[in-house]
Every structure is written in C-alpha cells, then in structure tokens.
Structure 1
C-alpha cells in the first residue's frame, strides 16, 4: 500500500519536474514516528518496520528512469521521530523548509501539527496513513493531499457492493477501540446513504485469551457463537475491528452462517493484486523482486 501511494506521488510530481529547464534534484522528505503497534495475531505474519520508506525509495528509483529524459532526479530523505517527540522539534531544527514535498506517515494529531507549522504553509504534504474523515471535512487543510482513502470512502465502497448484491440487512459488531467506533460510525452513515438496514449494533464484549495457545483458541471457539447469537435476521455480519482484536475469528464461527464483511472477511481496500486496470499490471510488476534479489 505504501509503495502504491508513493508511486502516485511521483506521477503528480513528474509534470512539475518536466517544466524546469535545468537539471533538478527533487528532495522529498519521508516523515514518520516510531508508533507502538500490537503484536501480530500469528507468528507467521511478518512485522515490517520500514515498509513505507522502502516503498518510497523504490518508487523514487523507478521515477528516475523517466526523469533521465529531462535530467530530473528524485531523492527520498527519511526522518524518524520517537512516538513522544513533538513535531515542532523539526521546526526548531530548521529542517522542514528544505523540502517542498513531505510524505507524512503520521497519525491524525501529528499530521495536523505538521500542517499548521509556519515552515510548511507552502509545502505539499501527502498523507499516506491517516483515514480520519474529519481531515477531509471539518479540518480539511489546503496543504494536505490525501492519498489514502478515508473511512467514509472505505465504508461507501463496501456499501455499494452490498447494495449490488442486495444484502441490505446488516448485523453490525464493533470493537472497543476509538478507531473501531469511528469505522462503525462510517458504516452507519453508509447504511443510511444506500438504504441498508442495520438490524442491530452490538459491542464485542468478550476478552480473548492468548490466541497462540490451545486454551486461547478454545476460548475463541466458544466466545464467537455466544457473541453473535440472538441477532435479528440479517444478510451479512458487518464487523468494525480496526485493532484486529476479534474480527479475524468471526468467519465460519458466527452463530448464523452469514458472510463476514467490514474490516475483516470481505473488506474494502485501496489496492489488490487482482486489479489489472489503469496500468496496475506494470505498477505491480516493477515491485516484484528480481531473481537475483529473491
């Protein structure tokens, strides 16, 4: 995902670079923080700590291939902050004014703090992480360009497909975390927009044990049917669990045999390898490792 959105950045910057007469090097700041993330539910899932940066660097390298015709080059400069370090620390270092473009791999509050700094008022900031809807409405800023879809966009994409399938009765199960509630709110908006009926909204109340242990797995097998029983008649089980606390285990374990959609099961996404239109085949091909690298 990070690689995909950064390639779009280069596509936007390329016409700007091509208009210059002299050879130009475009320095792009990649800014992120060392945010704490929960451990993966499975040991088989590899944790990536530099996915965004590697995607940015590879995309810049690919952009240079076309840039050679116009004597243009792209350079990605990474900047990492600790989770508790203030964005204003970069301002104190007189650091941000050097970069006309910033790729912001930041959470909402940090993204807003970056966008309102005096040094970034003439900077184009590309948001590649934050899905918050208010950044596109109430707190929309003119120097922030959103490459990642918002929660409302994801929910609408899902709602359009469910309407096409005529699965209009939704049983919504939401998690406890703020992000889970925000996506549930987006789903409620989508239901109203496309004429779906949320027959019930239910909080997932159970606390799963260690899911890597046998006892934890048995606990899940027991909890999921209990958590989903007694719901009114519904076509789909819609889950809002961005924190991945329980949603992965709803499939094939719910009390009623219904499709699971939302953050798990069938989920909306900005990119998928099966999508082959609009140059996607080439975009996917360039990121495949060569045989020498494999």
Structure 2
C-alpha cells in the first residue's frame, strides 16, 4: 500500500504557513559552500594493516540533502535554491573565492574548513555583507572571536565535553584519569574537558601524556597498562584526535574502568544508530543519497546549516540581506534537527543550540542535556560556554 513519503512531513506546517502569508518575492537564492581542496580531514585514515581508524566522506553531502529536503519550503515562497560548492587551497585563495561568491549574490556561505582557516577567512571578511556558518570546526576559540559575520553549527569542544561530564556525573563517576596526546588538537580537547570537569567539581586524579613512539625510553607513555597504573580512578578520558593510540585503550587499562573521549563512549552532534525524533528517517535518506555512507556529526552540522539558511530566506520574506541575517540570528528562527527540540543560535557566541549524543560505535547511550541539569533560561545552554562565562578575544 502506498504511503505518503515521511521525509517532508515535518516541513508541511511551515510550508503551509508561508503559502497563507504569501510570497514576498520571487528569486533564485544561491547558498555558498566553501571547502578546502583535497581536505585531509576527509581522507579515509588507514593504519599500516589497512584498518580504518577514521572514515572518509565529505560533509557537502549533508548540505546537499538539506537543500533538497527544504525544497517544499522554498517552493512555497517561489524561491529557487541553488547550492554553490567551491574549494580553494589556502587562506588567501579562500578569501578570493569568497569575494567572487559574494559578488555573485551569495549572502550565506557554509564554511567546511579547519579552524585556523575559519579564523582567517572570518577575520578578513568581518565587514562584508555575508554570513558564514562554520559547520566542521569544533575549536572553542572560534566562538570567542566574536566575529559579527560568523555562526557555528558544528558542536564546540566545550559542548561535547559538557555532555560527557553530565553523563559521568549522573553515574557518580567523578574521579578521572586524563590521557592527552602531544598534538595541539589533543590539548584543545583536553582543555575543554578540564573546564567541564571543573564546572561539575570532578576530581582529575592525574593528567598524563601519551606518545606513539615505541622506543624503550617512552615505554611508560606508550604502554596502556603502564600509563594507567599507580592511580585510583572511575573513568579514563583520552584526548587523541588521530585515534591510533586510543583504539588500543579499552580493555587494556590497569583498572577495569570505562574509557571515554576519543574512543569507547564518544560525544558527537550525530550518530547513525540514534532512533528517536525522526532521526532514523534522516539517517536513511542520507544513506540513500550517499550509496550507503553513514551520517556523521559533520554531515549533520552541514545539513542543519543548509536548513537554517533556507528557513531564514523563506521566513524573512525579504530580498534584503540584513533582514535575512537578522532573522537567522533571532529568536524567531526555529529549526527541526531531528532531536526533539527546536534549534536556534546563541546571541553571545553564534553557536547553534542542540542536544549532543553520547554513543559507542553502534549505539547511542544517552542524549544530553540529561535530566536534572537545569538552566535559568534554556537547558540547552548547559552545554557549551554560557553567557556569563563568555569573553571575546
């Protein structure tokens, strides 16, 4: 028996309201998507045994799906939405490419760039008539730059660590042994977890640096049993963005303890096994679009960025850039991210508010904010840097 496809059901009330209010203008809307040419983040990361420790896959697929899903909404206001995917090789060429995109009428551009390039591009274009949406860089310092043209749909490191710490607090696992790699990215992840642990008054019993070096002089830093010995802890937090050390850590600690962070239990924007709030339909549509690739957190954040832009254009009902830019930043913006709550952006740091999933490789264990963690205005603001903590750099 034929049934109405489920993928657009959540959009029908929005489309109906737009039809009743009447379309304000008819136009082609071009949404930009600016990425790094041959981005190493999306190469499948294989160790010498051909074991994949980080999957490949470019999150442009998420933005493509977001635009396609919102066609019923853009059609309701007689808008033709086009996604313009551009790439460049360095900061100077990215700014030059963005200049071309803005001159071509692109007022909102999704940035799929490493943090240092997001920082440079946003800083050099802060006075331009364009809103940039950072979809893939989690570094907290980007949220502290206070660039007036920059929003974030990628979860910040602090959001991810706050979610993890909430779960540990509910289990009363508050004595933590931290293992941290030598890379700057590892140290940034560790700093975020440290701040979250301090918020919940955890006891970090020790912080130890690991290495992949295998020489005898480093045996206490590269051996899982040795580096986790001589301490009493409830849980091991590991900050290892490359994943090569951490993949050997579960079941190989001196004490029989949970491993979280870069392996074991991991915090993310999305996990393909999540099965609530319409998430299974989102995952299925993505796998159909990509011939079976599973949706990651970066795919989700690119998808939600595209949905936010199309919604703002449709609801602002104006051809003026500033009116649409004000709408996407305002309280009237309500986005369905298949998470059970309506999403919008924080005014102080431009970060999108949304729940975080805590998952193993094939199951979601919890979704934060967890019950019992309260906030005076919005419980989603228990994840990430809250307004009283926020400082511009």
Q: TM-score, normalised by structure 2?
A: 0.60
Matches within 5 A, 1:76-225: 76-83=83-90, 86-90=93-97, 94-97=100-103, 98-118=105-125, 121-137=128-144, 139-207=145-213, 223-225=223-225
Q: What is residue 326 of structure 2 aligned with on the other side?
A: none
Unmatched runs of 5 consecutive residues or more in structure 2: 1-10, 293-393
Q: How far off is 1:20 after superposition?
A: 4.5
Shift of 1:47: 4.9
1:242-265 deviations in Å (ceiling 9; x for gaps): 122311110011122111011211
Take 1:134 and 1:239, find their aligned partners in 2: how far apart are those partners? 21
Deviations 1:85-143 (A, max 9, x none): 5433326x634333101000012222122223458622111101111112222x12121
Q: Count residues in correspondence.
A: 266
- Structure 1 distance, partners of 2:97, 2:18, is 26
Deviation of 1:223 (Å)? 2.3
- Does the alignment pair 1:54 with 2:61? yes
Does structure 1 residue 36 correspond to structure 2 residue 40?
Answer: yes
Q: Secondary structure at the match of 2:56?
A: coil
Q: 1:200-221: per-residue Cα shift (whole Å, max 9, x none)? A: 0000034259xxxxxxxxx9xx
The question of whether the paired residues in 1 share the 8 Å contact of 2:91 and 2:120 is answered with no
Given that 1:206 and 1:223 are in contact with CA atoms closer than 8 Å, whether structure 2 keeps it comes out as: no
Displacement of 1:29 in angstroms is 0.9
Q: Could you tell me how far apart the structure 2 residues matched to 1:286 and 1:247 are? A: 32
Say what the alpha-carbon RMSD is for the aligned residues.
Answer: 3.0
Q: Which moved further from structure 2: 63-72 or 99-108?
A: 63-72
Change beyond 3 A, Cα 1:19–1:268: farther
Taking structure 1 as the reference length, the TM-score comes to 0.79
Cross-structure match for 2:229:
229
Q: CA deviation at 1:169?
A: 0.3
User: Structure 1, unaligned stretches of length 5 or more?
Assistant: 1-9, 210-218
Q: Structure 1: how far apart are the matches of 2:151 and 2:126?
A: 17
Change (3 A) 1:73 1:40: farther
| 1:63 is the counterpart of 2:70 | yes
